[in-house]
Chain A
Amino acid sequence: MEEFQTQRFDVIVVGAGPAGVAAAVTSARGGAKVLLVERSEIAGTKNMIGGAVFLSALKEVFPDNWHQAPLERYINKHTWSLLSDNSSVDVSCDFPLKPKSASIFRSKFDSWLVSQAKKEGVYFAPSTLVKRLIKKNGYYCGIETELERIEAKVIIIADGVNSLLACQHGFRYDYDAKDTVLSIKETVKLSKEIIEERFNITKGSNNGAARNFLGGLKSENTPFALGFMYTYSDSVSIGLGVNLEDLRRYALNPSDLLEKLKEHPVVAPLLQGGEMLEYSAHLIPEGGFKKLPKLCENGVMIAGDAAGFVNAIHFEGTNFAFISGKFAGETALAALKINDCSKRTLKLYEKKLKQSFILKDLKSYKDVMENLYSRTNSLMNYYPKKAAEFFEIFSGANCISKRDEFRNFIVNFIKDRSIRELFKDLAAFISSIFGVLK
């Protein structure tokens, strides 16, 4: 660390995840002297991802060598399942020749990102915890670690969902529990052959699958939660993202809920015989557009999860991180070039975000999660149950006339709960769709 003591940098990036590395390499490619600091000894070892990273964003940042990244399997098959207590109704899509994402382990993947950044001239300081930012004359101009002070013209905060730095310096408040999802996951070892068989993957290929589960938690008070599975080379993940407010309100333990999902008769066979390799937990910021922080101040910008850049509906987060980091890096270069790192110049970062899918999507999706959350019982209980009932009639020869069965189904669909609920569901659905499309 001594070598940094008297050094000054053009750019310091805090946090070596996708956002931080994208910011660091982009700045370094433009000739800036960049320091990337990371609190863990090995990048990615504090991180967890449900499973997959979006390739389009990875290619944007590493166009030439993205395919050398430690990718486990290309995720080209997605299945969404509505789970009732003992059954599942699925929708599935498969694009075996057009992979959009790939499953990764963060420790391997983030370490690879850092190794690439180092090759491109970024100085990397692992095991370095930033205590606070240094501010002089209204400008943020450095960091104070546990050991020393290091100065720079521009600081990019990319220290993840809990961003103590952003909270501490007033760029944002802590998230509310209702805007936060606690995601827990288990990585489970299974042989390649078993994974290929259970997930209908071509033998010996790098293809993989993702599964999502709505419902099936057999809980009296149903929390807003979504189960997930991803295939790795010779293991799978099984996890659950649960709204933190619901955990608190219903006094639930996330691990107990995951156990219930794992016991579900449709999920259990997928995991049968597997050996748990690792348990992990991480938060997802889902406040989105309504909880955006100050994105820049004199001498500083905020990128990735630290800024709450997540589109939960489409599991987008890594792509927002990569691209927002890249924008922050480009903006830092522009500011360094004219030697003006004031907020006025750094507003270019905000402009880039606004013109891109990042703020456009966050804005158009700003009400979607709230709409869905307000209909938790419909989504988690009522429709999965009704879907199961419908397909039980459709796929089962029950020796009852189909007309009677279907009529009964329709009557019950309307009678099983107050009709107001149906209209509320419709209103939430229409509001979400129009919010996105208008």
Chain B
Amino acid sequence: MSSDEVKKKTIEDKLTTIKYNCDSESHLVLDAQLCKNCESRCCTYICPAKVYTYDENQNTINVDYENCLECGACKIACPYGAIDWKYPKAGHGVIYKQS
């Protein structure tokens, strides 16, 4: 999956252009049990900010909520409804300036 590594860097580059006011706790909470049994793990590829990554050793999904663009795609795409998707606390999260 070396090409994946390259693409991942690309998204990381893109994320550096965005300003955030990070919350101290995650506004995205996964149902770990549902995620353990999930085979497609579509959250790991449909997210435009690659917020979700799969930890093979632990069989868990890591959530980099700090990078979230608050689009809501993961919430709709997750076939198990395993993502408790909320907005970050008021005034927190992504701050678009030129979008």
Select one of B7, B49, B50, B90 contacting A146, CB under 8 A.
B90
Are B99 and A174 in contact, with the CB atoms below 8 A? Answer: no
A-B contact count (CB 8 A): 135
> Is B32 an interface residue, CB under 8 A from the partner?
no
Q: Given A176-B76, A247-B77, A281-B69 in contact, is the A129-B45 Cβ separation under 8 Å?
A: no
User: Which of these binds chain B: A180-188, A326-334, A362-370, A401-409?
Assistant: A180-188
- The closest CB in chain A to the CB of B75 belongs to A174
Q: Which residue in A40, A49, A244, A279 is a CB contact (below 8 Å) of B15?
A: A279
Could you tell me if B99 and A280 are in contact, using CB atoms closer than 8 angstroms? yes
Chain B 1-17: CB-based contact to A (< 8 A → 1; otherwise 0): 00000010011011101
Given contacts A180-B76, A251-B42, A281-B48, contact A45 B98 (CB under 8 A): no
Chain B: CB-nearest residue to A145: B90
Q: Does B87 belong to the interface (CB within 8 Å)?
A: yes
Known: A255-B48, A281-B71. A47 touches B42 (CB 8 A): no
What residues of B have a CB within 8 angstroms of the CB of A279 in the complex?
14-15, 17-18, 48
Q: Establish whether residues A106 and B10, one from each chain, have CB atoms under 8 Å apart when the complex forms.
A: no
Residues of A within 8 A of B46 (CB): 182, 244, 247-248, 252-254
Asked if A280 and B69 make an inter-chain contact with CB atoms under 8 angstroms apart, the answer reads yes
| Min C-beta distance of B71 to chain A, whole Å | 4
Q: What is the CA–CA distance of A248 and B41 in the complex, to the nearest angstrom?
A: 9
A148 to B48, CA, bound (A): 34
B34 contact set on A, CB distance < 8 A: none
Q: Which of B18, B90, B93, B96 has the most chain A CB within a 10 Å cutoff?
A: B96
> Do B73 and A244 touch (CB < 8 A)?
yes
Q: Which of B43-70 contact A (CB under 8 A)?
A: 45-46, 48-50, 69-70
The CA of A247 and the CA of B40, in the complex, are separated in Å by 12
Indicate if the CB atoms of A49 and B99 lie closer than 8 Å.
yes
Which residues on A sit within 8 Å (CB–CB) of B71? Answer: 182, 281-283
Chain A residues numbered 1-46 whose CB sits less than 8 Å from any CB in chain B: 39-42, 44-46
Interface residue? A127 (CB, 8 A):
yes
Bound complex: CA of A244 vs CA of B74, how far in Å? 9
- Name the CB-closest residue of A to B14: A279
Q: Does B91 contact A127, Cβ atoms closer than 8 Å?
A: yes
Contacts of B45 in A (CB 8 A): 247, 251-253
Q: Does A413 contact B (CB under 8 A)?
A: no
- Cβ of B95 under 8 Å from chain A: yes
Interface centre among B14, B93, B94, B95 (most CB of A within 10 A): B14
Residues of chain B within 8 A (CB-CB) of A47 are: 96, 99
In the complex the two chains form, what is the Cα distance from A47 to B18 in whole Å? 13
Instruction: Classify chain A's interface size.
Output: 35 or more
**Interface residues of B: mostly helix, strand, loop or mixed?**
loop
Q: Does A289 contact B (CB under 8 A)?
A: no
Is A164 part of the contact surface with B, judged by Cβ < 8 Å? yes
Q: Which residues of A contact B85 (CB under 8 A)?
A: 162
A336 at the interface (CB under 8 A from B): no
Q: Is the CB of A235 within 8 A of B98?
A: yes
Chain A residue with Cβ nearest B70: A46
Residue among A42, A44, A129, A145 with max Cβ neighbours from chain B (10 Å): A129
Q: Which residue of A lies closest to B71 (CB)?
A: A281
Taken together as a complex, chains A and B put the C-alpha atoms of A252 and B11 apart, in Å, by 14
**Would A283 and B72 be within 8 Å (CB), given that A105-B97, A127-B90, A278-B17 are in contact?**
yes
**Is B97 in contact with A45, judged by CB distance below 8 angstroms?**
yes
Known: A253-B46, A255-B11. Contact between A280 and B76, CB under 8 A?
Answer: no
Residues in B with CB closer than 8 Å to A39 are: 87, 90-91
B20 CB to closest chain A CB (Å) equals: 11
CB-CB under 8 A from A244, the residues of chain B are: 46, 73, 76-77
Using known A-B contacts A247-B77, A253-B7, A254-B46, determine if residue A40 contacts B72 with beta carbons closer than 8 Å. Answer: no
Q: Say whether A283 contacts B99, CB under 8 Å.
A: no
Instruction: Say yes or no for A48: interface residue by CB 8 A criterion.
Output: yes
Question: Is there an interface contact between A48 and B96, defined as CB atoms closer than 8 Å?
Answer: yes
A290 to chain B, nearest CB (A): 16
Name the B residues within 8 Å of A277 (CB-CB).
17, 98
Contact of B93 with A46 in the complex, beta carbons under 8 Å: yes
Residues of B within 8 Å of A129, CB to CB, are 87, 89-90
**A177 at interface, CB cutoff 8 A:** yes
* Inter-subunit contact A164/B76 (CB<8 Å): no
Judged by a CB distance under 8 angstroms, whether A430 is at the interface is: no
Chain B residues packing against A (C-beta within 8 Å):
7, 10-11, 13-15, 17-18, 21, 40, 42, 45-46, 48-50, 69-73, 75-77, 79, 85-87, 89-91, 93-99
**Listed A/B pairs (20) with beta-carbon separation below 8 Å:** A40-B90, A46-B70, A46-B93, A46-B94, A127-B91, A162-B70, A177-B77, A184-B48, A187-B98, A244-B46, A254-B46, A256-B10, A276-B14, A278-B18, A278-B96, A278-B98, A279-B17, A279-B18, A281-B69, A283-B73
Closest 6 CB pairs of A and B: A280-B99, A279-B14, A127-B91, A129-B90, A281-B48, A48-B99
